[in-house]
Structure 1
Amino acid sequence: MPRCQRIKSEDAIYHIMVRSISEISLFEDDKDKDKYLFCIKQYQEIYNFKVYAYCIMPNHAHLIIDSNGADISKIMHSINLKYALSYNYSHNRHGHLFQDRFKSKIVHNENYLITLSAYIHNNPLKVKGYENQPEKYKYSSLKTYLGLEKDSSGLLDETYLMNILDLNVGRTRKNYLKLVSLCNEEKWNKEIEFQDEKTEYRSERRVLIRDFNPEDILEFIAKETQIDKLLFCIRYNKKSNVVKALAAIMMRSLCNIKIKDICNILGNITQSTVSRLCTLGVNLISTNEEYKNLFDKLICQQVSLVP
């Protein structure tokens, strides 16, 4: 039976859930949880999406992601593939790690967003030792919303949700914690999943439009790296690999094109080569100071050109 087409929108906020196949835990220990958060952060730097809430449990994880104009399938495929490869290597195993595709549901209004965040933050109540204190669970964003700890990783964008909740007031934080404690599985199914959600949700968020011209990206990279554009189509050259890797990941993130289009632009290369170049591009941008701000610089440059 064919799978249903995923419902997506350029300006959507999503409730994302990922789960492991039944016989293993998705996260064996805290190191695995740290790795998954690191993967999210790494691709956040590439795709410029926002994370409003998260909770990492032993065999599944919940995220609220504002795609900010990016394709949510690209985002989650990148994160989950990188984590699965790392997990299999660390635990000396092979094969699938995640149960089917990730699940996604579009958040249509602010009431849904608030209750969804409470439901996600409620998850640690199922963990031994946290039955009455979910705010102490390390791998949840609740502690940040309650003002108990700042998000040192830079992963969480709490401002948007905090403005909706008005969590600058201590009493409001306590009320939110009460909501978290009350938002159990049964209430979630009855009050959230089956309520009318047809009203279109529009907010004051500014969404990044992903319609960059590939040629502009190639020109930008050539200028920033001071490497001739001719090298973009040369194979087996170190400098060529660098510029092609940067071009591949920036086109994957900012252009409304498919991988096969990137293959043609970069000299009729294979899709597997594009995937390898994207991995190299992620590593270059996340670890090399020379390339760290390329995305922000290109985006600012394009915005300044808009009349």
Structure 2
Amino acid sequence: MVRPLRIEYPGAYYHVINRGQRQEAIFEDDRDRERFLLCLDRMAHLFGVRLHAYCLMTNHYHLILETPEANLSRAMQWFNVSYAVYYNRRHQYAGHLFQGRFKAILIEADTYLESLSRYIHLNPVRVGVVQQAWKYRWSSCRYFVTAAQPPNWLDIQRVLTGFGRSAKTQRKRYREYLRDSDPHIPSQDVVGGLLLGSETFMKWAKDTFLSTRKKDRQLPVLDRLRPRPALEDIVGQVARHWQVRKQHILKRGAKRNLPRDVAIYLAREMSGCSGQELGEYFGGITGAGIGVRCKHIEKMLATDRNLRRDIKNVRAAFANS
């Protein structure tokens, strides 16, 4: 088996996933799940890891974590072994609990942390376990949308900061964010099973960490990356669809400028640019301002069929190009 390529540096963010051997269960009951969370607590304190979201499913788990000390491999090795030893002893199980080494996707937090947290929290909804993500006991979602106090090893503010200033506003807006009827799926943007971020971020990661490992079997996938649409192309396509001039979209100040808000929404989704880059392109908007406009479109998509159709058609124009 080829050892998975790991990119580690201080302050890196990862989406970590691991599954049971042969897709079998890794939790038999709530006692197992409680022990799993205890292992997360211990890992956070032993290795200085920060957890930003988690979800425990029957045969796999999802984590969003940050490593201030560049020690992902050591921390996760300790974690997986600790839980597996407990599980095997309790259930008298012989063999490997997990299907192999954990999968870790390096993520650009400024661009993908919010949507990735939503993707993880909606796992129980997608499989029909619950209808509302925050009702699922074994994920971090309830801490994002209710006044429930999170454990000291879980940092929810890194995600919620972009949803408003007060805790009440943050919880309300994040709940609305979860209800988006057409959520972007971050896993569709993962490159080579390894990277999730803007073009700038991926170039930096390749140049910094991968350039000396040309013979690695995983790297050719990165080289086959299909270029993402440029910002001017996205604005142009939106302008053509709504039959307005590009300047109408790029000009700041106009109220109820739907084509502009749609262009910002699609640019964040499709271009891979950071919030700062988008803000500069669209006339000096702050990252928070970009988030507000995107959330406005997401809220409209929940009820406006025509807008869903329009955005789908714009996306299709790029898929067919």
Give the TM-score range, shorter chain: 0.5 to 0.7
Residues 22 and 181 of structure 1: is their aligned pair in 2 closer, same or farther, counting only changes over 3 Å?
Answer: farther
C-alpha distance in structure 1 between counterparts of 2:180 and 2:40, whole Å: 29
Amino acid in the other structure paired with 2:54:
Y
2:171 corresponds, among 159, 173, 183, to: 173
Amino acid in the other structure paired with 1:144:
Y
Task: Verify the 8 A CA contact 2:115 2:184 in the aligned structure 1.
Answer: no
Task: Verify the 8 A CA contact 1:122 1:183 in the aligned structure 2.
Answer: no
Question: Could you state the TM-score of these two structures normalised by the residue count of structure 2?
Answer: 0.56
Matched, 1:162 2:160: yes
Amino acid in the other structure paired with 2:164:
D
Which residue does 2:72 correspond to in 1? 72
Amino acid in the other structure paired with 2:140:
S
Residues 183 and 65 of structure 1: is their aligned pair in 2 closer, same or farther, counting only changes over 3 Å?
Answer: farther
Residues 118 and 159 of structure 1: is their aligned pair in 2 closer, same or farther, counting only changes over 3 Å?
Answer: same
Which secondary structure state, in structure 1, belongs to the residue aligned with residue 28 of structure 2? coil
Question: Could you state the TM-score of these two structures normalised by the residue count of structure 1?
Answer: 0.58
Give the deviation of 1:30 after TM superposition: 1.2
Amino acid in the other structure paired with 2:62:
H
Task: Verify the 8 A CA contact 1:145 1:167 in the aligned structure 2.
Answer: no
Amino acid in the other structure paired with 1:70:
A
C-alpha distance in structure 2 between counterparts of 1:73 and 1:57, whole Å: 22
Which residue does 1:3 correspond to in 2? 3
Which residue does 2:38 correspond to in 1? 38
Identity %: 31
Which secondary structure state, in structure 1, belongs to the residue aligned with residue 96 of structure 2? coil
Which residue does 1:146 correspond to in 2? 145
Which residue does 1:193 correspond to in 2? 190
Matched, 1:99 2:99: yes
Amino acid in the other structure paired with 1:134:
A
Amino acid in the other structure paired with 2:132:
Q
C-alpha distance in structure 1 between counterparts of 2:9 and 2:76, whole Å: 15
The number of residue pairs the alignment matches comes to 198
Q: Which runs of 5+ in 1 are unaligned?
A: 202-307
C-alpha distance in structure 2 between counterparts of 1:147 and 1:42, whole Å: 25
**In the TM superposition, what whole-angstrom CA distance separates every residue of 1:65-100 from its partner, at most 9, and x where no partner exists?**
111113100000001001000000111111101111
C-alpha distance in structure 2 between counterparts of 1:106 and 1:184, whole Å: 24
Task: Verify the 8 A CA contact 2:39 2:82 in the aligned structure 1.
Answer: yes
C-alpha distance in structure 1 between counterparts of 2:69 and 2:58, whole Å: 30
C-alpha distance in structure 2 between counterparts of 1:78 and 1:106, whole Å: 20
Residues 141 and 82 of structure 1: is their aligned pair in 2 closer, same or farther, counting only changes over 3 Å?
Answer: same
Amino acid in the other structure paired with 2:31:
K
Give the deviation of 1:4 after TM superposition: 4.1
Which secondary structure state, in structure 1, belongs to the residue aligned with residue 24 of structure 2? coil
Amino acid in the other structure paired with 1:142:
C
Task: Verify the 8 A CA contact 1:119 1:184 in the aligned structure 2.
Answer: no
C-alpha distance in structure 2 between counterparts of 1:83 and 1:185, whole Å: 33
C-alpha distance in structure 2 between counterparts of 1:193 and 1:177, whole Å: 25
RMSD: 2.5
